[in-house]
Amino acid sequence: MTARRRGAGHVPLASPGPAAPTAPAKAAVPTALTRMVATAALALAPLLALTACTDSLAPTVGAGTVTSTAGTSTQPSATPAPTPTPPPSPTPAPPPFRLALDPGHNGKNAENPRIINTPVPDGRGGTKACNTVGTSTRSGYPEHEFNFDVATRMLPILRDAGIDVVMSRADNDGIGPCVNERGTFAADANADALLSIHANGSASSRPHGFFLMITSDADATTKNFATHIIDGLSDAGFAINTAAGSTQPRRDIAGLNHATVPAVLVELGEMRNPEHADLTSWPSIVRVKIWYGLWAGLSVATSMTFAPSSGASSSDSYFASLSSP
């Protein structure tokens, strides 16, 4: 019989001699239990190793890498798609300049004296007649017709220039409106400025030429607005009035007193002067010059718009520019 070789984990053969005392039976229980635990551990080792490997593969929050028990592997995390930047909202165009155009008097005023003589506030603490019939040439051509003709012929010209126009009266066959309403209608219509169209009727036939009226306490904005109208008419070949000059500051013009926007009244000619009677009673080339002169002055004035400041309209910026010297 071949003897067993010694090796790790093996018990050496006992040498001959007296027999060793027999260990109590209960001493063998721990040995048997130990072997059972060892055997179970060996059986569960692969499962425990797999569990440990699985746990080590859990991502580390915020690290941006993935770690395993087999080694450390750094991989870039997925880059989220960039959020598209919405295109900038287009800047809204400023509203067009709105002009309140007031052709003086009206066709039925003369037939309704009770109405047009009714007192209305004059804007200075007193009263004034609602309206008047206006003047006329010596041949009978009435001012109210001239005023309305000029205003209505100006409408397409001004609108083609990008100016929004509102009128104080829609025809030449009515009464009024009263002078206080002619001043307030500009603000009621959200207009940026008021231009009142008239022709003068001096008692003498000698004065000739045009002139403007503004309130006696007009601010720099209104004065500069009037200057553009004067320049436009002058460039069209019209002479400044020989008696009144270019501008008359007045306190008694109720329409101007009631206006809360820059307002001017233009007397386009002297209807009692024989030369002016010709141009006011017939739509000749001279009448075309009137339209051109008013258009030129208004176009220069209303084109002076700048980038509005916060909360300001284009007209606010325009009138702010007029206020400077």
Among residues 143, 267, 270, 275, the one annotated as catalytic is 267
Strand pairing class (119-121; 127-129): antiparallel
Say how many Å lie between the first and final Cα of the chain, rounded. Answer: 133
How many other CB atoms sit within 10 Å of the CB of residue 92? Answer: 6
Residues 270 and 253: their CA atoms lie apart, in Å, by: 18
The Cα-based distances of 324 to 53, 100, 312, 318, 319 in angstroms read 83, 24, 17, 11, 9
Task: Assess whether the previous peptide bond of 308 is cis (omega < 30° from 0).
Answer: no
Which regions of the chain does DSSP assign to beta strands (E)?
66-68, 71-73, 98-103, 119-121, 127-129, 164-167, 193-200, 211-215, 247-250, 263-270
On whether the CB atoms of residues 141 and 148 are closer than 8 A, the answer is: no
270 catalytic per annotation: no
Cβ neighbourhood burial of 35 (10 Å; 0-12, 13-18, 19+): exposed
Alpha-carbon Rg for the chain, nearest whole angstrom, is: 51
* Residue 193: strand pairing partners: 99
Find, among 106, 114, 104, the residue nearest to 173 by Cα: 106
On whether the CB atoms of residues 250 and 170 are closer than 8 A, the answer is: no
Residues with a catalytic annotation lie at 267
